[in-house]
Structure 1
Amino acid sequence: MKIVNANYIHILIIIIVSLLLVSAILIAVKSYFNNKEIESLSSSCLKNDGEYELVITNKLTQSYKFSCENKN
């Protein structure tokens, strides 16, 4: 009986660790692509003689609010 319970515990640990690893990877990917998008938006706004406002709403995932207004 103890061997069966130990197997279930090992399987549960593997599942939990796998879920944490996948979650961490997804958060890192989301942060990376948000960062690239922010770079693209800000450089595009500056290239068109605009001023942009960037508010990071979540530091972990780099979620943001972006607005660009022309100076003219």
Structure 2
Amino acid sequence: MALLKNKYVIGIMWILATLLLVASFLLISTGYFNTKEISLLTSQCYENSGEVIIEIHNNLTSEYSFKCK
């Protein structure tokens, strides 16, 4: 319990918690916007009578390659 009373330890814990929160937010928002972009590209490809070829490289961040033939 004496370790938690140390101001430096508490400060480091707050910094780590904040960094974890920021990293989580960035990861979630990147995945969200990539998903929106894939939807937009797919609908535009279908409007032009194209065939969608999409390859998801990372499910967590929705990193992808897109082709419309």
The answer to whether the superposition gives a TM-score over 0.5 is yes
% same residue: 39
List aligned pairs for 1:1-72, cutoff 5 A: 6-69=6-69
TM normalised by structure 1 equals 0.88
Return the offset for 1:10: 0.3
Structure number, greater radius of gyration: 1
When you count strand as a share of all residues, which structure comes out higher? 1
- Aligned alpha-carbon RMSD (Å): 1.5
How many residue pairs are counted as aligned between the two chains? Answer: 67
Q: Which runs of 4+ in 1 moved over 3 A?
A: none
Query: Which ranges of structure 1 fall in alignment gaps of 5 or more residues?
Result: none
